Amino acid sequence: MADHTRDWRADLVTAYPDLFDPTASDPPAARGWPWVEKGWRDLLERACVRIRAALEAEGGTFHATQIKEKFGTLRFYWEGTLSPRASARVEEAVDLAEARSAVTCEICGEPGVLHGDRWVTTRCSKHAEGRRPIETDPDDGIYVFERVVGTRREVRHRRYDRETDSFIDVDLPGDEET
Ligand SMILES: [Zn+2]
């Protein structure tokens, strides 16, 4: 069995015990143990910094429940009791991490794109392992942002900008606030 106590993931979950609640003797037993490769360490750390800042500012409880790769990108599941403001900040942090995973090689952390056919991964050309880049539609990079605050429903379209690690609003016909 691999020695997970010397793993980068053990360092991450023990650096953020408030988010992962690991046991010292067995960090991989933490529910949010990230089952992803090291190239995504940085984007997970960015998410943890943002989530901790949101909790410190807004209060509430948070627990990472599952972090994994699916269809080539990150899935970050959590549960908690948060105010709408805190929840919005946490969701934003998770959205940014998931969007970044779609443009970051899971092996080395360099810029990457989706590769493969039946087994899809996000890789740089060096770590593509023979899989071909997937032709993507320009619309694939557009994320639908939807929030309900009180009775107000907000729908926006955004594109992830890797350079600034932020979302940029894209105006599409039909975007409006109701
Ligand atoms: Zn790579």
Instruction: Please write the tens of the pLDDT for every residue from 33-87.
Output: 999 999 999 999 999 999 999 999 999 999 999 999 999 999 999 999 999 999 9
Report CA(142)–ligand 1 centroid distance (Å).
Answer: 23
Digit-coded pLDDT (tens) for 112-155 = 999 987 789 999 999 998 889 988 776 777 888 887 777 888 88
Q: 58 and 118: one domain?
A: yes
> Does residue 100 contact residue 84 with C-beta atoms inside 8 Å?
no
Full-model pTM: 0.89
Alpha helix (H) ranges present in the chain?
A: 8-15, 17-20, 41-58, 84-101
Q: 78 and 122: one domain?
A: yes
Q: 98 and 148: one domain?
A: no
Report CA(128)–ligand 1 centroid distance (Å).
Answer: 7
Q: 19 and 43: one domain?
A: yes
Q: 43 and 94: one domain?
A: yes
Q: Which of 110, 164, 118, 160 is nearest to 140 (CA)?
A: 160
Q: 80 and 116: one domain?
A: yes
Q: 28 and 9: one domain?
A: yes
Count of structural domains within the chain: 2
Q: 112 and 158: one domain?
A: no
**Amino acid 1: pLDDT:** 52
Q: How confident is the model at residue 92 (pLDDT cuts 50, 70, 90)?
A: very high
Domain that holds residue 64: 4-136
**DSSP conformation class of 171:** -
Q: 115 and 153: one domain?
A: no
Report CA(104)–ligand 1 centroid distance (Å).
Answer: 8
**Amino acid 104: pLDDT:** 97
Report CA(82)–ligand 1 centroid distance (Å).
Answer: 36
Q: 26 and 97: one domain?
A: yes
Q: 8 and 90: one domain?
A: yes
